[in-house]
Amino acid sequence: MAQKPSIPKGTRDFSPSEMIRRNYIFDTIRNVFELYGYSPIETPAMENLSVLMGKYGEEGDKLLFKILNSGDFINKASDKHLTEKNSTKLTTEISEKGLRYDLTVPFARYVVQHRNDITFPFKRYQIQPVWRADRPQKGRYREFYQCDVDVVGSNSLLNEVELIQIIDEVFSKLNISTVIKLNNRKVLQGIAESFNQPEKIIDIAVAIDKLDKIGIDKVAEELEKNNVNNELILFFKEKISNESFSIDELGKLFEAKNSEIGKQGISELNYITTYISELGLKKSTLELDFSLARGLNYYTGAILEVKACNVEIGSITGGGRYDNLTEVFGLKDISGVGVSFGADRIYDVLLQLDAFPKTTNTSTELMFVNFGEKEEKYCIKLLQSLREKGIKAELYPSSAKLKKQITYANNKQIPFVALIGANEIEENTITIKKMNSGEQVKINFDELVNLIRS
């Protein structure tokens, strides 16, 4: 009769064992964020569409989940748009809220809205789910978590340096080797400017970003299609796609063409790489990659992306500097820079590398077997004392067959089981079964505490 229930496309349930692992990732990331002086905030799952629309480009708007207005929304829609069946125009009349697409735009809104309560520079982190109406694939979901760290109200490049350190710290704690790819939008702008096509910057960015994936020839094809001039295409073909092409060469180009923006991009990159090479990284390598562009078009300065070594998966972290994000909400001259860790992909990477810690101390350490009413009353007091000492313990809730109770402990991987029957109560002892060996010992309460702690 009842149909099997299900969940929407691209969403997932998480079992206890998955949650233990997910929390391990979140806890690690959170600890690093706090170590670097960032404070947590949260924002609502839904935002007004006016906040979200237009921030992610045309494609992004399509990927927003929109929420229908309450009440008789269709009655309030205009007949004109209904009969025209114009979805875009109709949407604005029947929906005014949407689920957040990322954490950066809601954060910008937050900063503007609370500007009087915030002392700048404002360093915050935020770990919450986001939603995208994308077609799901592996490592790509419609609901997923982002872990964002941003600092707004500071132009200092020290922030970029610090973010790279945070990335290195997080992945070294998670035991993942990574490559951090770094570029600067100003460099790309400088290139576009040097070849007299500054207006093509977006097309160029979108095309060149695919270099690793489709190769230089296809990139050139796409640039041609977008009417980018041959001189520029040739430059990409001969220089940018060439491994040995250096930052100094690029600098010379900008000198020759007198591109201020390009020169600035180069000096920013040099600042960051010099700092990082002095500080050193634990488990990551920092690489300049002039083909890195990133789709989100609010970036204006440094852009970076992190890939895990030895795992075929999209980028697991990305971010950059954005100068004008708060401006669209009416607050000028506030620059921000931040990165976003993709917890779900990090989970997949850890799984593939088999890099989750073997011991998870989050589950029960001791279980009391339940022999009956009298024993239960006796055990529950011991249980309370153990919990007060910080030991994770539980009492089997009914006096089921001993076999069933021990099977339960076995499946839950509880290392110690306490058997307290009439004899033990009389003797004031506790029989402990060590589940890994099957060995049993009779001890007292203090000895038990020491045993579990050892």
List residues binding RNA (CB under 7 A).
Answer: 1, 3-4, 6, 8-10, 56-57, 59-60, 63, 102, 132, 134-142, 144, 146, 206, 209-210, 213-214, 294-296, 314-318, 340, 342, 344-345, 401-404, 406-407, 410-411, 419, 421-424, 431, 433, 435-438, 440
Q: How far apart are CA 215 and CA 276, in angstroms?
A: 30
Query: Which residues, 6+ apart, have CB-to-CB distance to 313 below 8 Å?
Result: 139, 345, 348, 349, 352
Whose Cβ is closer to RNA: residue 204's or residue 266's?
A: 204
Cα–Cα dist 219/228, whole Å: 11
The distance of closest approach from Cβ of residue 200 to RNA in the complex, given in angstroms and rounded to an integer, is: 14
Distance (Å, whole) CA 341 – CA 367: 38
Residue placing its CB nearer to RNA in the complex, 44 or 215:
215
Nearer of residues 189 and 194 to RNA, judged by Cβ: 189
Write down the least CB distance from residue 138 to RNA, Å.
3
For residues 268 and 202, the answer to whether their CB atoms sit within 8 Å is no
Q: For the CB of residue 106, give the shortest distance to RNA in the complex, in Å.
A: 14
Q: Please, what is the minimum distance in Å from the beta carbon of residue 256 to RNA? A: 31
SS3 436: coil
- Residue 150 is encoded by which pair of tokens? 């941003």
Nearer to RNA, 220 or 266 (CB): 220
| Smallest separation (angstroms) from RNA to the CB of 314 | 4
- Which residues are registered as beta bridge partners of 123? 151
Task: Identify the CA nearest to 62 among candidates 72, 53, 75.
Answer: 53
Query: Between 11 and 270, whose beta carbon lies closer to RNA?
Result: 11
CB of 94 to RNA, least distance (A): 17
For residues 266 and 395, which CB has a smaller minimum distance to RNA in the complex?
A: 395
Question: CA dist 65 to 61, 106, 131, 143, 200, Å?
Answer: 9, 15, 7, 11, 30
Nearest distance in Å: CB 42, RNA: 18
Print burial letters for 419-448: b (CB count within 10 Å at least 16), e (below 16).
bbeeebbeeebbbbbebeeeeeeeeeeeeb
Nearer to RNA, 158 or 214 (CB): 214
- Whichever of 9 and 389 has its CB closer to RNA, that residue is 9
Residue 59 or 278 with smaller CB distance to RNA: 59
- Closest approach of Cβ 236 to RNA, in Å? 16
Nearest distance in Å: CB 336, RNA: 14
* The residue count for the chain: 454
Nearer to RNA, 8 or 330 (CB): 8
Q: Residue written as tokens 């919990």?
A: 387
Shortest separation between residue 65's beta carbon and RNA, angstroms: 12
| Residue carrying structure tokens 């096509």 | 197
- What SS3 string covers 75-143? HHCCHHHHHHCCHHHHHHHHEEEEECCCCHHHHHHHHHHCCCCCCCCEEEEEEEEEECCCCCECCECCE
Q: Each residue of 331-342: b (16+ CB within 10 Å) or e?
A: beebbbbbbbbb
Of 324, 328, 331, which is closest to residue 53 (Cα–Cα)? 328
By beta-carbon proximity to RNA, the closer residue of 247 and 313 is 313
**φ and ψ at 364, to 5 degrees?**
-55, 135
CB of 168 to RNA, least distance (A): 16
Helix (H, G, I), strand (E, B) or coil at 147: strand
